[in-house]
Amino acid sequence: MERQKSINESLDQLEVNVSKVGQDLGITSEGILDEMDSIRTRLDDLKTQGRPATAEEAQFEFIAKTLKDHSKAFIKEIGGLKTLTNLRSMRQPDRKAWWWFLDEIQSDQRKRTLKKQLIWFAGIAVALVILYAVYQLFLAPSPATEAALTFESNIENSLISGDLNNALAQANQGLTTLPDNVTLLILKGIAQTKLGQTDDGTQAFSQAEKLIGNRESYLLQRTLLYIRSGDAKSALNDAQTIVVANPQSAEGYFYEALAYQSLNDSMNAYNAFDKAQTLANDQGKTVLVATIRLDMALLMQNMGAQIQSPTP
């Protein structure tokens, strides 16, 4: 019983010492290895005598796992790989005393981790190749669609930079080959209106609305294009027109929120997002709900940052 008590005391002290690894609390790293050897030998003796110490074995395994988990810090505290290698060379421990081989264990873990990472990256690369092939075969946009997207991007950038003449020229060029492209027609109308060509702009807008065939859908698209081209005030006007005409329009409130957000009106943006989320949820529009929640989270994060960092 006295020998058993001694092992318990030694285990408790060893557990305390191992818990201090990496904390620069003055532990003797070499002493930990010696104590691991000593306790392991004493536990084996008890087992040979037919007196297995189950609780003590469990505690020893816990301590050993803790040491293994902190092997990097332990090796650093003992003086580095060279010091551990030199000690091992002098002591010539049995391979069963794996704590003397923490450097090799750590190296093996790094190799396994690297192997897993390489396999993961290889899998991602293969998946990307497959996705690209599928995209090219089945999902790649037609040349006409690609051309339209290019024109849209150029027009929006010109509107944002204030180069209205170039925006109108790009719209006219795109409509030469894509005369019924609604987006190009709306962007043309925006450019013409900003240039003071109100009647021509109204005509372009009317043509786009006629092609869409629905007033609300048309206004939603124009709202989004106003936002993308940097005119948040016009976007807000369109969005408010939508929700006045249709108070149940989740998309209308969503675009209103985006417009308010572009105007840095966070509180009104939050309220509009909240209304849009409620309506979309009631209407079973799960994709829209997810989009709204993401935008709301980003808005709240930004609002929190502004509160925490007030302007001096």
Same structural domain, 208 and 237 = no
Same structural domain, 14 and 100 = yes
Mean pLDDT of 49-70: 86
Residue 12 lies in a domain: yes
Residue where one domain finishes, among candidates 183, 213, 243: 213
Same structural domain, 13 and 78 = yes
Residue 116 lies in a domain: no
Using a pLDDT cut of 90, give the percent of the chain over it: 44
Residue where one domain finishes, among candidates 213, 240, 259: 213
pLDDT at residue number 305:
55
Residue 129 lies in a domain: no
> Model confidence at 192, in pLDDT bands (50, 70, 90)?
very high
pLDDT at residue number 309:
46
Residue 222 lies in a domain: no
pLDDT at 102 over 90: no
Mean pLDDT of 256-285: 94
Segments forming the whole domain that contains residue 150: 141-213
Residue 180 lies in a domain: yes
Same structural domain, 89 and 152 = no
Residue 130 lies in a domain: no
Residue where one domain finishes, among candidates 213, 241, 270: 213
Could you tell me which residues come within 8 angstroms of residue 218 by beta carbon, excluding any fewer than 6 positions away? 208, 209, 212
Q: Supply the CATH number for residue 277's domain.
A: 1.25.40.10
Residue 131 lies in a domain: no
The number of distinct structural domains making up the chain is 3
Residue 270 lies in a domain: yes
Same structural domain, 191 and 255 = no
> Model confidence at 87, in pLDDT bands (50, 70, 90)?
confident
Higher-pLDDT residue of 113, 61:
61
Interatomic CA distance for residues 14 and 260, integer angstroms = 62
Nearest of 218, 212, 291, 306 to residue 258 by alpha carbon: 291
Same structural domain, 8 and 92 = yes
Same structural domain, 82 and 160 = no
Among the listed ranges 25-39, 72-86, 231-245, which one has the minimum average pLDDT value?
A: 25-39
What does the pLDDT look like over 158-174, one tens digit per residue? 999 999 999 999 999 99
Same structural domain, 89 and 175 = no
Helix axes 182-194, 164-177, angle to 10 degrees: 150
Same structural domain, 23 and 87 = yes
What's the mean pLDDT when you consider all of the chain?
85
pLDDT at residue number 21:
81
Same structural domain, 241 and 187 = no
pLDDT at residue number 133:
61
What does the pLDDT look like over 236-245, one tens digit per residue? 999 999 999 9
